[in-house]
């Protein structure tokens, strides 16, 4: 997962509260860091996304493959 995909996934799943969650919610699965701290520490975006989803009880079907743009039609 690229950082841009992570940002898109957060926006799509959490809307306006996404930025507050990234800055304020401490995630045990990434070493008791916020998502922003974890990303800054070099933890892969996919790992941070999954930790955020687990903490926020996002259903499994909305955790995987999110944030990707649809393929362009040729």
* Predicted local confidence at residue 71, as pLDDT: 44
State percent of the chain over pLDDT 70: 86
Please tell me whether residue 22 adopts helix, strand or coil conformation: helix
**For the chain, what is the domain count?**
1
Q: Which domain holds residue 19?
A: 3-59
Would the pLDDT of 43 be above 50?
yes
pTM of the model: 0.84
Residue 65 lies inside a defined structural domain of this protein: no
* Predicted local confidence at residue 65, as pLDDT: 63
Write out the two tokens for 31. Answer: 């070493």
* Predicted local confidence at residue 32, as pLDDT: 97
Rounded to 5 degrees, what angle do the CA atoms 73, 7, 48 make?
120
Would the pLDDT of 62 be above 90?
no
Residue 66 lies inside a defined structural domain of this protein: no
Relative orientation angle of helices 45-55 and 3-14, to the nearest 10 degrees? 20
* Predicted local confidence at residue 69, as pLDDT: 57
Please tell me whether residue 26 adopts helix, strand or coil conformation: strand
Residue 24 lies inside a defined structural domain of this protein: yes
Residue 70 lies inside a defined structural domain of this protein: no
31-36, Cβ contacts within 8 angstroms, sequence gap of 24 or more: 35/10
């Amino acid at each position: 997962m690229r950082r841009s995909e992570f940002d898109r996934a957060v926006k799509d799943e959490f809307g306006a509260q996404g930025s507050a969650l990234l800055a304020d919610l401490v995630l045990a699965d990434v070493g008791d860091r916020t998502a922003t701290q974890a990303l800054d520490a070099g933890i892969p975006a996919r790992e941070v996304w999954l930790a955020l989803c687990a903490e926020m009880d996002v259903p499994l079907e909305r955790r995987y493959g999110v944030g990707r743009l649809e393929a362009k039609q040729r």
